Structures are given as C-alpha cells and as structure tokens.
Amino acid sequence: MTPIHFPAGVTNLASKAAQTTNWRDCNLIRWENGVTLRPVGGWEKLNIPPFTSRLRKMHRWSANNGIIYTAYLCEEKCYVEIDGVITDISPADGFAGVVGDSGGYGDHLYSALKYGTPRPGESRLKLYTPTYSLDNWGEDLRAMTSADGRLLGWSPSAVPGTKLTAVANAPIGNRSFIITPERHIMLFGSNSFDRFAWCDEEDDTNWAFADILSRAGYYEVQPKSPIIAHQLSEFGIIMFTPAMSYHIQHVGLPYIYSYRPIGKIPVPLSPASICDTPDGVIWPSVEGWWMFNGTSPSIVECDVWDFISEHIDIPSARFDAACVHYSAKGEVWWFWPDNTEIGHNTRYTMYDYRSKAWANGLLNRICGYSYANDRYPILSDGVNVWKHEIGFSYPDAIELPWIESFNLAPNGGESWITLNKILPEVIGDVEAFKVSVFKTNSRSGNAAEIRSPLRSVQMNGSGRGWVDIRETARDMRLRLDMVKEAEWGTVGPILFDVKVRGQK
C-alpha cells in the first residue's frame, strides 16, 4: 500500500490535479498540535434576545465585587448583561447614526448590479469605514462608535437604570479609543482625523493638554492623513493611516508617548480585521497578510490567498470583515464576505500560528471574543450570540465539516489508476465520517468531476479500520465528510491500495 502523509493545513492552487500531498480545501476543520485532523467544535445559541440593530462589538469584564459583566455594542444601541439579564444602557439621546450616501458611479466592480441602481456602501469621499470600541476603565465601561464620536461611560455601581453618558471634558468627534496599560485612554481621530490624544494618568476627565501638571497630550500625525485602524499589543500600539503606519510607545515624562513610522505598508482591510497574537500583530490587507513583531512589519505567507482574492467582496469587507483570536487554540479566525453574497460575512480564513497551518470555510460571524483561560469563544452573526467549541452540533452552519485533497495519482495523472482500499488511522467515532473520491478522465474544457458514493470505515476483529472502494480514473481526489454529531479525527499517514494502469 502507498502511504500519503498530508501535512497540516490547506493549500489552494488553480489545478485540482496538481501533484502534491497537501489538502486542497475544507470546511470547519482544524489540526491540533499540527498533527491530528479534527472537525472544529460545534456551537450553541445563548439565550439572548435578538438585538434591534446589528451587533458589532462585545466585551466581558469583572467589577470590583467579582461580578462578571458582558457589554454588547450595536450600531445604534448598547446593552449590558447582568446575571443573565440584558439591560439597555444606550445613551438617553441615542447614538448618532452612520452618515453616508447610497454610492455612485465607480463605487463597485465594473458591470456589477443594474445600471442606474444605487451601489452599496458609504460615500466614496471617505477613506475609512465605521468602527466600534469597548473596554473597561477599572470596573467602569467605556464605549464609542465612530459615527457618534463621544467617549461614553457606564458604571456597574451606578443607580439601576443609569444609561451611558459622555465622559466629562473628553474631546468629541473621535473615531475610536483604547485603554493603555499605563492607565491612559487614548483617542484616535480626536477632534481632527489625523490626531491621537490621551488623558491624564488614571483620570479620563482630565484632557488639559496645556497644563504642565497633567500628563494628557496629543500628536497630529505627519504626513497628514486620517487614522483608520490601530491595535494594542505587548510592545505598544500599531496605528495605520493611508499614508504611513506607526508604532506608538510609552516613554514617560516629559512626552509620555512617542510614535515612529514603520513604513508605507498595506493597512487592514477593515478596522476590525486585526488582532494581537504571541507572535505579533497580524492583519489581512488587499495584498495579503502582514505581521508586526515590535521591530518591523513583514509579509505572512498565506497558502490560501489565491482563494481569498478570487472570492472576497472588497467593498463589503471594508465594513464587515473581522478577526477573532481563539487564544486557547492558538488560532486567528478572520470572517469576510463572499462576492456572491454581498452585504454580510459568509466565509472565514483560519490561521493556526503554532503550526503555521491555514484553512478556509463557511461561517457567518461578524464579531467575538475569547480569553486565554476560556475554552469557549463567544461569537455573533450580528443578530444572535453563539458559544463555540461545544460538542459537534452546528445549528446555523452552511455546510457540515469536510475536507478534500489534490490528485492522488502517484505519477501525476500520466497513467490511469485503480483505487481498491483506503486505511486511515482513525481516532474517535469511526461512524462519524464517510469517505468518497472525485474523479475525472479529461483535463481539457473544464471537465466535470464525478463523485463516488459515500463509503464508511469498516472495522475487523483486530480493530483495524479500512474503506472498501473500487474506482478507476486518471485523476482522483479524496474527500472526508462528517455525517454524525460525534468526535472523530485522523492522525498519521493514510494508506492507499493503488494500482497504476495504462496511459490511455
């Protein structure tokens, strides 16, 4: 028998018949420790009523009394979960809505949509899209939407029924904020699209930039350009503008913070398409994935970038694409819209930075969070909230887990082959997945592939499992499909009983 060791991860190439032992495509599949192929964990819907506007950001924190709170920031509302009860804490005067037009000539791909109809998206005069910020200042919550621009605060110790209110003396007309480890709130696009400013240490009501006793301060970015995205990390803050990207660091008195340019590099596709990992800050751009490790930016080789660039809808991605860091798994999940499903995310790309493995799949999510000591990420599709990595049920999945290989022919398709038997090394429930092959005899004219029937793994008395399958073709690819809500996986090489036939 011929052993084929499929390395962890997916590699996309235009030719399905390419001579390689990599996996070609998959859905809801991961590799644990870079070795064991498994379906990702399932999920269950949390008992949270659907939000009246689209959910964009979630944040969980602990108050001084140890009670855990979760905040949900929507496009037009903000809620907090207290002991399982959802409370509307939106400001009394509401959030200012996103201002934009319905688009116009040149806003979309040539020939996309009907002539004379409005194109989706914001005004093309804007260089950046809306963003949403949540964090806790001590036990108090801070929230902001770029459309509203105010730094808003709410305290768990306040009188029940208290709403978000503007933080006293804080600048208005901001784009976003972060809370630094040095106990400053840093505002981006503060009163001016090219300014970032910070409050006095441990006092977010003190923004006295001219007071020599205050540690509040600001910089106006040079060259002058709007701030569109940023990310806090262990080595400081990385900030992006269309003209230049910068590294912001705390330097203490008298300047408090300094910033330096790190290059004219591609910026994140959307404000939410960036996250911090132990290896550095990582983000997808219009020209591939990038990482900044505190010293210099670098390109991250992406084995599935050809697939992404072929299927992504860039205009929609600028509004909706978002990254979530699965801390416990060592994975970055990036959710993005397909160009056939304009208006919401339907796909994801997963990067396992421990084993450097990539994978694609289908899943509608727009925001989420996870923590290093929590096995269960919380994600949302904008309407409902889901707890992930629970069992193996996939309630709103577009497709169940599956994975496909490239051509199995040992001589690259020069001769026909007959496949008689497959011996996978299976862990878990052998009845949870079935095996099939795609086969074709012609390499011209985009010949359609024929799929064999699904076949089960058979077990003998000694516990060895095999798949009886007799198929003959010039090109043949393997596929594994999950068919039962149970744990399963494969490890090590898969053995194939393959016989090479004639060349015609």
Answer yes or no: do 358 and 415 share one domain.
no
Q: Quote the CA–CA distance of 447 and 143 in Å, as a whole number.
A: 54
Whether 424 and 360 map to the same domain: the answer is no
Do 428 and 350 share a structural domain? no
| Mean local confidence (pLDDT), 120-138 | 75
Using DSSP's 3-state secondary structure scheme, residue 194 falls into coil
Contact 226, 241 (CB under 8 A): yes
- Going by C-alpha positions, the residue among 448, 450, 455 that lies closest to residue 439 is 450
Residue 150 lies inside a defined structural domain of this protein: no
Q: 396 CB contacts (<8 Å, ≥6 apart)?
A: 364, 381, 384, 386
Using DSSP's 3-state secondary structure scheme, residue 430 falls into: helix
For the stretch 3-45, pLDDT in tens is 999 999 999 876 666 667 899 999 999 999 889 999 999 999 9
With respect to residue 185, please indicate whether it lies within any of the assigned structural domains.
no
151: closest CA among 181, 189, 183, 208?
189
Mean pLDDT of 448-463: 83
Task: Indicate if 380 and 275 belong to the same structural domain.
Answer: yes
Domain boundary among 390, 409, 426: 390
The answer to whether residue 305 sits within a structural domain is yes
| Residue 447 confidence (pLDDT) | 72
Q: Are residues 461 and 378 in the same domain?
A: no
Query: Of the candidates 390, 417, 443, which is a domain's last residue?
Result: 390
Domain count along the chain: 2
Same domain assignment for residues 341 and 446: no
pLDDT at residue 344, as a whole number: 86
User: Contact, 345 vs 365, CB < 8 A?
Assistant: yes
Residues 381 and 276 in one domain: yes
CB 221 within 8 A of CB 248: no
Q: What are phi and psi of 314, to 5 degrees?
A: -60, -50
What DSSP string runs through 483-495?
Answer: -SSS-EEE-SPEE
- Expressed as residue numbers, the domain containing 470 is 2-41+401-500
Per the prediction, the chain carries an average pLDDT of 90
| Residue 352 near residue 40 (C-beta atoms within 8 A) | no
Kindly state whether residues 382 and 305 are assigned to the same domain.
Answer: yes
- Which among 164, 157, 145 has a CA at the least distance from the CA of 91? 164
103, part of any domain: no
CB 58 within 8 A of CB 77: no
What pLDDT does residue 109 have? 56
Q: Let me know whether 430 and 490 are in one domain.
A: yes
Q: How far apart are CA 292 and CA 295, in angstroms?
A: 7
Asked whether residue 55 is assigned to any structural domain, the reply reads no
Q: What is the mean pLDDT of residues 183-209?
A: 95
* Per-residue confidence band for 191, with pLDDT thresholds at 50, 70 and 90: confident
pLDDT digits (tens, 9 = 90+) for 418-443: 999 999 999 999 999 999 999 988 76
Q: Within this chain, do residues 447 and 382 fall inside the same structural domain, yes or no?
A: no
C-beta separation of 233 from 281 below 8 A = yes
Predicted pLDDT of residue 445: 58
73: nearest Cα among 161, 172, 170, 147: 147
Do 374 and 425 sit in the same domain of this protein?
no
**Domain limit, last residue, from 339, 366, 390:** 390
Strands 450-451, 236-240: pairing kind: unpaired
CA–CA gap between residue 116 and residue 276 (Å, rounded)? 43
Provide the CATH number for the domain around residue 456. Answer: 2.60.120
Q: What is the pLDDT of residues 351-371, one digit of tens each?
A: 999 999 999 999 999 999 998
489 and 379 assigned to the same domain = no
Question: Is 229 among the domain residues?
Answer: no
Rounded to whole angstroms, the Cα distance separating 79 from 256 reads 34
CA dist., res. 23 & res. 6, Å (int): 7
Q: What is the pLDDT of residues 55-83, one digit of tens each?
A: 999 999 999 999 999 999 999 999 999 88
Tell me which DSSP letter residue 415 carries. Answer: S
- Hey, is 432 helix, strand or coil? helix
Average pLDDT in the 116-132 region? Answer: 63
Residue 384 has pLDDT above 80, yes or no: yes
Interatomic CA distance for residues 52 and 308, integer angstroms: 32
Whether residue 169 is contained in a domain is answered as: no
The average pLDDT across 367-379 equals 92
- Domain contains 378: yes
Percent of the chain with pLDDT over 90: 74
Percent of the chain with pLDDT over 70: 90
